[in-house]
Each structure stands twice: as C-alpha cells, then as structure tokens.
Amino acid sequence: MAKKPVNKRGWWGILIHASWPTWIGILVTAVAFTLAENGDAGLSALVAGLIVWVLSAVSVLLIAIVWQRRRELAIPLAMGAFVAKIVILGFLLTLVPAPDWLHTVGAAIGALVAIVIWQAAEVIVFINTRRLIYS
C-alpha cells in the first residue's frame, strides 16, 4: 500500500506537498513536447505550467499567512483569491498578445497538467492533514 503524505506543517505543508508533484508534471510535459514537437512547444508547456503553479502557490501562501493571524478570514480570502485569480488571468489573456513562439496546444496541455496535478495533490494532502487533526 502506498504511503500517504504526512503533513505536520499545516498550510505550508500543503504548499510544499502540492508543489513538488506539480513541478515534476510540468517538467515531464515540457520535455515530452520538446521531443514530440519542438523547443517552442516545450517552452510553451513549461511557461503555462509555471504560471498555473505560481497562481496556485500564491493562493495557498496567502491562506497560510492569514491562517496564522486571523483564521476566521482564511476561507473568505481563499474564495476571493480564487475568483480574483480567474478574473485577472482572463483579463490578461485578452489584453496581452500571445508571443510568436507560443505553441497553443503545448501551453494548453502544460497548464492542464499543472492544474490537475496541483488540485489532486492539494486535495490528498488536505484530507490527510484533516485526519491528523481530527482523528
């Protein structure tokens, strides 16, 4: 049976345990696109994945900081940060022109891989963290 990730560092641990599998997924996707398509496709997958990771990490980082000072604001802040992240990203996508080197399929798959891995890792670690607290 696989060993469950143990998180004894709260939100900081969730940030760490969600980050490393996401980085691995981003790198594997970027290498795969580089080998299958070209360097621009690999770079597109890498950049898109890193953008997703940065946005996700900033959200958890904000929650971790607020959790230490004002726990009652952590969940509203998390929801607000999520909405703001989506709105700002959508706004930027309409204003900032795509660079010439952007490979749209590589970028889309790179972002999707990062989102799926981050969310899965975050949920798994969060569930196991709650079990430590409430069992």
What SS3 string covers the chain? CCCCCCCCCHHHHHHHHHHHHHHHHHHHHHHHHHHHCCHHHHHHHHHHHHHHHHHHHHHHHHHHHHHHHCHHHHHHHHHHHHHHHHHHHHHHHHHCCCCCCCCHHHHHHHHHHHHHHHHHHHHHHHHHHHHHHHC
pLDDT, one tens digit per residue, over 24-74 is 999 999 999 999 999 999 999 999 999 999 988 988 888 888 888 888 888
pLDDT, one tens digit per residue, over 93-102 is 889 888 899 9
Give buried/exposed letters for 78-107 (b at 16+ CB in 10 A, else e). Answer: beebeeeeeeeeeeeeeeeeeeeeebeebb
pLDDT, one tens digit per residue, over 4-20 is 656 667 788 888 999 99
